[in-house]
Amino acid sequence: MGSHNIKIQYHSRVSPPSATQTSLSLTFFDLFWLRFHPVERIFFYTLPTPQSNPSIFYSKIVPKLKTSLSHTLQHFPPLAGNVVWPNDSPNPIVQYTPGNSVSFVVAESEADFNHVLDNSPHQASEGFSIGISTHHSVLDGKSSTLFIKAWSSLCQTNDDESSESSSPSLAPKLVPFFNRSVIRTPRELGLNFPTNWTEALTKLFPTGNSDGRCLKLLPFPPRLEDEVRARFVLTGADLEKLRKGVLSKWDIVERGTESEAPRLSSFVLTCAYAVVCIAKAIHGVEKEKEKFAFAFTVDCRARLEPPIPENYFGNCVWGNLVDADPLDFIKEEAFGIVAKSIHSKIKEMLDKGIFHGADSSFSKYESMAKEKVEVFAIAGSNRFGVYGTDFGWGKPAKVEITSVGRGLTIGLAESKDGNGGVEVGLVLKKNVMDLFATLFRRGVSDE
């Protein structure tokens, strides 16, 4: 992945201007992620020539980012707080106390920015990036994106760079909703599984600390040795070609369903195509690895009864494990099989509820761990609209979820070109990545 010297130029702490003490209880949606690694996302920007002057960057842009961050935290105080577990509380809480703050670091890298942007046509441009690390137990991708969009909005609209006392208002759609009472407990939902996840996580990660009140993160070190990072794009035309190819081999007439071919979403097609190409690439290099599985999370806000606000702050996602056989991912017709499995799982969720089969899900993960099944997961979404994140100097040239390198995770985003395509970010061993690239391009080529 390459290494470049990083020089810290500026480090400070940023607090909300005048927020009062706030605490949020963690719901069962949050608690599952309590000991997982943070999610790291980087937004790369190219600056207009006048703003790329270092003196202007440090005198204008950095203060503007810092002030607008402070103002945004006024609306999102839990993000300046900490996850704590009081002795008298059955579950951890997110607590903000006046004086709490987030770290604000400005650093310079020797990396070639144009190379980072995959040979961007901006030959002489200067660039910089905004990186954010958020812990998944506090918020999911939708809430994280809401925060970033709120920050970028205030950075654009706030002209008084020196004002630390007042906090400008947010557009209603960017105001977070914190009321946790809208989330019913598993018992109220009729579910039968532990809500502290301790026993389940101990079985999945036997080397981790099994103390029921432990907040230490489980071991998810980034994979660095012999690993490379790359981004691939499926255009709208590519997705249409994949869609037609799958449907031409689909068993159209299914018992008890309509006889029309299903509508396969870009999400289904992208996930199925990416995981099959990865599985075949891994198996092609390491023959002993032949069992795979795929799990994905679904935003539940609109699917709960009653639905909860779209701007609910926290976690409201639920995992789904597709029913494909572990050996299906490397078969000749794997793409069609896995696409059908994902589509069927989504349809099952819509027909029978998002928690259908939840009681047995952890035993499935446990048995897969024993059988050494490689499980693919998803980070991000092609519906977040991350390429609309404009802090005042234009849209991002690239958005990357860097934490995908901590597991077999695929980073998803909508295509920055706005053509209905999807971007896929990966970290794989170099020889696996080379084979993946060949398989990925072959399936959408016109040859």
- The tokens for 97 are 């106390």
Strand, helix or coil at 160?
A: coil
Number of H helices, E strands in the chain: 11, 14
Amino acid at 244: K
User: Which residues have a catalytic role annotated?
Assistant: 136, 390
CA gap 354, 318 in Å, rounded: 7
**E strands, 82-141, where?**
82-84, 93-96, 102-109, 126-134
CA gap 259, 354 in Å, rounded: 25
- The tokens for 118 are 């995959």
Residues pairing with 399 in the sheet: 43
- The tokens for 188 are 């109220």
* Stretch (H or E) spanning 205: none
Contacts of 333 (CB under 8 A, 6+ apart): 249
Contacts of 206 (CB under 8 A, 6+ apart): none
Q: Which residue's entry shows tokens 């990357």?
A: 400
CA gap 195, 386 in Å, rounded: 32
Q: Are 401 and 423 in contact (CB under 8 A)?
A: no
Q: Are 330 and 292 in contact (CB under 8 A)?
A: yes
Q: Are 320 and 267 in contact (CB under 8 A)?
A: no
